[in-house]
Chains A and B, each alone.
Chain A
Amino acid sequence: MERKEDIFEKAVESLKNDPVPPGPAQELVDATLAQLSERSGRSGTEEFGDGMSVGKRLKTIRSFGRVAAAAVVLIAAGYAIGRSFAPRPLDMEQIQAAIEPAIGQNLLDETRQYVQLSLANGYLQIKDELSQQYRQDLSRVAIQMLAASNTATNELLTELIDSIHMAQIQDRQRVAAALEQIALNQLRDRNQLSIAFAALAVQTEDELLRTKQDMAHALSCALPDNPAPHEFEDPDNPNERSKK
C-alpha cells in the first residue's frame, strides 16, 4: 500500500516537475493582446450602442413616450371602471351581529361534538385498557393458582407414595412374622407328632405283647402239652418286668 502511495506521489511529483519550455512566444502574446483588444472593442460597442444617430434615438424616445401614454390611459380607465363597479363598503358591525350567533352556535356544536368524540374515544380506550388489564390479571391469577395446585398435588402425591411405601414395609414385616410363626408351629407340631407317634408305638407294642401273652395263655389252657405260657414272655418287656 505504501509502495502504491509512493508511486502515486511520485507520479504527481513527476507531473509537477515535468520540464516546461520557456514561453509564451511573442507571437502568442501579440495574438492574445489583439484578441483582447478586439473583444474589449466589441463589448464596448454592444454596451454603449455607438453608431446610433440622434434621429433614431429621438424616434425611439418618442415611441417609448407613446407606449407610456397608452399605458397611463389604460391604467386610468381600469381604475375608473373598477371604482364604478365596485361593491359598497360593508358594514362590519352588521355583519358581525349577523354572523356572531351562528359562529357561536357552530363553535358550541363543534366543541360539543369534539368533547363527545373525545369522551367516546376515551371511554373506548379505557374500556380496552381495563379489559386488557383484567385479562392480564386473570391470566396471572390462573398461572399462580395452577402453580399452587401443582405444588399441593405434588406434596400430596409425595405423602401418598411415602404412606404406600410404609404400608408395604409393614405388610412385608407382618408377612415375615407370620411365616416365622408358621414355621415355628410346624416345628412344634412335628415334635408333638413325633412324641405322639412314639407313645403310640410303645402302647401298640405293649398291647401287642399283652395280646400275645393272652393268646399264649389261651392256647396253653386249651393245649396242656404246650409249653408254659411263660415261654412266650419277653424278659425285655417293661410291662412284664413291672408285673414281676
Chain B
Amino acid sequence: MIDWQAIIEEHGPTVWQTAYRLLGNDADVADCFQETFVSALGVSRRQQVRNFPALLTRLATARAIDQLRRRFRRPHGNGSPDDGSAVEDDSPCPAQQAQQRESAARVRQLLCQLPSQEAQAFCLRYLNDMSYRQIADELGISTNAAGVLLHRAKAKLRELFELSAAGLK
C-alpha cells in the first residue's frame, strides 16, 4: 500500500517546481500538480515504482508540456504565463530581468513545437539535471537513444530559437 500523503509531502515541492518552471502561473500549476499525482497513481497500479522522484518529475514535465501545448493552441491565447504571481528575484537591473523573463517565455513556447518525447528529455536534462541513464529509464529507452534524443531536441530548439530571434528582429 502506497502512502500517498507521505509521497506528496516529500516530493510535492519538486513536482511544483518542475511544473511552475514550465507553466509559470498558479492555476495551471495546480492543475498540473493534481494530474501528475493521478497519473502516478495509474502508473503505480500497472507496475511497481522504484524511483518516485524521477517518475513524478517525468510526469510533471509531461503534463506541463501538455498544458503548454493547450495554452498556445488556444485561438486567442497569447501564451503569457505571467499572472502577476511571479516572484521578484534579486536581479539588480529591471531591463535584464525583463529580458530573462522574455527569453524564458520564448523557450517555453518553443518547447511546445518539439515532439513530446524530445521536449520531455530536454526538460529532464537541462531543467531538472537528470542523468542520461535516469532519463532513459523514465522514458523506457536505451541510454544511447536518450543521448540522440537530447541532441536532436537541443539542435531543434536552438534552430527554432534562432529563427524566432530573427523573426523578432
Contacts and interface: CB of A to CB of B under 8 A. Distances in A.
B4 A33 contact: yes
B126 A16 contact: yes
Interface in B10-32: 12-13, 15-17, 20-21, 24, 26, 29-30
B4 A21 contact: no
B103 A11 contact: yes
Contact of B158 (A5, A10, A23, A35): A5
B100 interface: yes
Interface string A78-117: 0000000000000000000000000000000000000000
B103 A35 contact: no
A126 interface: no
A15 B104 contact: yes
Interface stretch (B64-72, B80-88, B137-145): B80-88
A33 B13 contact: no
A144 interface: no
Interface string A47-82: 000000000000000000000000000000000000
Given A15-B21, A32-B8, A20 B16 contact: yes
Given A28-B34, A29-B8, A19 B41 contact: no
Contacts of B34: 28, 31-32, 35
Given A4-B165, A23-B16, A18 B8 contact: no
A142 to B, nearest CB: 65
A31 B89 CA distance: 30
Given A28-B30, A39-B41, A21 B87 contact: yes
Contacts of A31: 34
Interface of A: 4-5, 7-8, 10-12, 14-16, 18-24, 28-29, 31-33, 35-37, 39-40, 43
Given A23-B29, A33-B5, A36-B37, 6 more contacts: A10-B103, A14-B101, A15-B103, A18-B24, A21-B86, A33-B8
